[in-house]
């Protein structure tokens, strides 16, 4: 058992949290998980005042921890003026109910903490609806015990929907939540339909899509902004502020998926999407609610798995990302492992370092960005071959299309039309087959 008390004055307004963990047997990941729980609490605007743990062979059915430990937690809550007691694992509805009766502070588990963070960070209408849906699905089985002044159900013949004036308040709450979940489902279906339309429009542009994935706070948004600014600098321009995405050194800084066109200038253009970050034991309800958003990953031509190379737990974080991608059905998509923040563990002159499909770089410092762009182009435009086309002058749109989406080698203006030799993808070869020059 470990007790780490912070006895400094607690007059500040920041809510104080007590972290509680249950070490089951030889759990090597326990300390890492507790550290991550502390980071999640801080991301939720809390101050971690203390940490307590207990070793058991299995959780207890009533309290998850032992009854003696519950009394010790209550003493700590009073001593340190704790506002939130946060458990490292998910609590069952009955465990949550029993703990709330014994502890004079708000009791949360890992799932409810992540939901709270998502609720605070959701900005767009879609993200807010997704978080509300996941929160209500989490709350539904935990309504038991939330109402004390309830009467017995009145007798009713036949339908259960007519229980008379004695109907329990808990049943009314359950129906209200179920109705709202259904409403949210319909709204999210409509948004998903609109997203599908946008996705089809993008596919018609024939620009390939790369998606940023990875553990939360690995630097995905920083990398997207760096790619935008680097390409703008190469072209002698600047990036409009509204094109930049928010970047901040915290867990789940951004929830909304954004898609930007990357125009490297001397390389071929592509689309890049930034998605919500992953975390170990990401609540299933959140994955389900954010499925329409995460579908950007499934439809990508290339994944950029951004990894914080300076984090000693990066291998575990890569494993979590791979498991989440499997759950989304995106495990077979080609992938580049972007080992970000490598400037913290390597000298600048050592960067970038490329090994197979892995590149060590620093998005913040700008080391390795051009090399990454080369790797992206090579992956996205793999399978290209050189073709010669002859377009009539009436099809200037196709000439522009090739200039934007293929590597044009030569362009000749002949009496019969525009003759172009270009290295292009198979899908473009098929699309422009009627204009191919026969050998």
Confidence (pLDDT) at 254: 66
Q: What is the average pLDDT across 227-232?
A: 91
Q: Is 438 exposed, middle or buried (0-12, 13-18, 19+ CB in 10 A)?
A: exposed
Q: How far apart are CA 194 and CA 209, in angstroms?
A: 18
Is residue 384 over pLDDT 80? no
**Rounded to 10 degrees, what is the CA torsion of 321, 322, 328, 333?**
120
Q: How far apart are CA 7 and CA 54, in angstroms?
A: 21
Say which residue, 234 or 61, is predicted with more confidence. 61
Length of the chain: 439
Question: How many whole angstroms from its chain centre is CA 360?
Answer: 22
Q: Name the 3-class secondary structure at 430.
A: helix
Q: What angle do CA 234, 236, 242 make, to 5 degrees?
A: 90
Which letter, b or e, does each residue of 177-200 get, where b requires 16 or more Cβ atoms within 10 Å of its Cβ? beeebeebeebbeebeeebeeeee
Summarize the annotated binding site as residue ranges.
214-221, 252-256, 274-277, 340-343, 362-364
In this structure, are residues 287 and 329 in contact, taking their beta carbons and an 8 Å threshold? no
Q: Is 347 exposed, middle or buried (0-12, 13-18, 19+ CB in 10 A)?
A: exposed
Lowest mean pLDDT among 104-118, 268-282, 297-311, 325-339: 268-282
Write the DSSP assignment of 61-122 as a string of letters.
TTTBS-HHHHHHHHHHHHHHT-SEEEESSPPPHHHHHHHHHH-SSEEEEHHHHHHHHHHHH-
Question: How many whole angstroms from its chain centre is CA 275?
Answer: 5
Mean pLDDT of the chain: 83
Say which residue, 271 or 200, is predicted with more confidence. 271
Is residue 299 over pLDDT 60? yes
Handedness of CA 37, 41, 47, 53 (dihedral sign): negative
Q: What is the average pLDDT across 378-399?
A: 87
Question: pLDDT for 79-127, tens place per residue?
Answer: 999 999 999 998 999 999 999 999 999 999 998 998 888 888 777 788 7
Distance linking the first and last C-alpha atoms of the chain = 79
Confidence (pLDDT) at 362: 97
Global model pTM greater than 0.75: no
**Rounded to 10 degrees, what is the CA torsion of 243, 248, 252, 256?**
-10
Confidence (pLDDT) at 329: 83
Summarize the annotated binding site for GTP as residue ranges.
214-221, 252-256, 274-277, 340-343, 362-364
Is residue 164 over pLDDT 50? no
Is residue 69 over pLDDT 70? yes
Nearest to 94, CA basis, from 160, 142, 153:
142
Question: pLDDT for 402-431, tens place per residue?
Answer: 887 777 888 999 999 999 998 787 777 888
Q: Report whether the peptide linkage leading into residue 432 is cis, meaning its omega lies within 30 degrees of zero.
A: no
Backbone angles phi, psi at 129, to 5 degrees: -65, -40
Q: Is 424 exposed, middle or buried (0-12, 13-18, 19+ CB in 10 A)?
A: buried
Summarize the annotated binding site for Mg(2+) as residue ranges.
221, 254
H-state helical runs in 140-212: 169-204
Beta strand pairing call for 47-56 and 3-5: antiparallel
Confidence (pLDDT) at 435: 92
- For the chain, how many helices (H) and strands (E)? 13, 15
Is residue 144 over pLDDT 70? no
Confidence (pLDDT) at 153: 44
Is residue 168 over pLDDT 70? no
Confidence (pLDDT) at 253: 66
Nearest to 283, CA basis, from 87, 41, 109, 144:
109
Say which residue, 401 or 181, is predicted with more confidence. 181
């Amino acid at each position: 058992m470990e007790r780490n008390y912070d006895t400094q004055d607690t007059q500040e307004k920041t809510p104080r949290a007590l972290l509680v963990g249950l070490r089951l047997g030889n759990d090597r990941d326990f300390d890492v998980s507790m550290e991550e729980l502390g980071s999640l609490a801080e991301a939720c605007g809390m101050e971690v005042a203390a940490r307590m743990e207990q070793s058991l062979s299995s959780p207890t059915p009533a309290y998850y921890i032992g009854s003696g430990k519950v009394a010790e937690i209550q003493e700590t809550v009073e001593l340190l003026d704790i506002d939130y007691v946060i458990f490292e694992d998910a609590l069952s509805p009955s465990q949550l109910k029993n703990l709330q009766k014994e502890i004079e502070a708000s009791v949360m588990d890992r799932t409810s903490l992540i939901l709270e963070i998502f609720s605070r960070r959701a900005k767009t209408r879609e993200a807010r609806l997704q978080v509300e849906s996941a929160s209500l699905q989490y709350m539904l089985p935990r309504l038991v015990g939330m109402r004390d002044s309830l009467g017995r159900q009145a007798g009713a013949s036949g339908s259960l929907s007519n229980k008379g004036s004695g109907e329990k308040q808990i049943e009314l709450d359950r129906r209200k939540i179920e109705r709202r979940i259904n409403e949210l489902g319909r709204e999210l279906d409509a948004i998903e339909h609109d997203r599908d339309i946008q996705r089809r429009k993008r596919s018609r542009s024939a620009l390939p899509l790369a998606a940023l994935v990875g553990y939360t706070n690995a630097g995905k948004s920083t990398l997207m902004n760096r790619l935008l600014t680097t390409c703008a600098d190469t072209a002698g321009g600047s990036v409009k502020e509204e094109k930049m995405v928010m970047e901040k050194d915290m867990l789940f800084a951004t929830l909304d998926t954004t898609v930007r066109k990357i125009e490297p200038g001397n390389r071929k253009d592509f689309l890049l999407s930034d998605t919500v970050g992953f975390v170990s034991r990401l609540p299933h309800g959140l994955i389900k609610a954010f499925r329409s958003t995460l579908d950007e990953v499934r439809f990508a031509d290339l994944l950029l798995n951004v990894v914080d190379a300076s984090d000693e737990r990066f291998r575990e974080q890569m494993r979590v990302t791979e498991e989440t991608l499997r759950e989304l059905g995106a495990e077979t998509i080609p992938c580049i492992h972007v080992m970000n923040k490598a400037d913290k563990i390597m000298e600048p002159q050592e960067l970038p370092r490329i090994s197979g499909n892995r590149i060590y770089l620093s998005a913040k410092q700008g080391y390795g960005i051009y090399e990454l762009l080369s790797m992206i182009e090579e992956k996205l435009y793999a399978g290209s071959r050189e073709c010669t086309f002859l377009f009539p002058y009436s099809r200037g749109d196709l000439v522009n299309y090739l200039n934007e989406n293929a590597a044009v080698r030569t362009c000749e203006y002949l009496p019969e039309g525009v003759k172009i030799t270009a290295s292009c993808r198979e899908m473009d070869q098929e699309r422009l087959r009627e204009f191919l020059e026969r050998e």
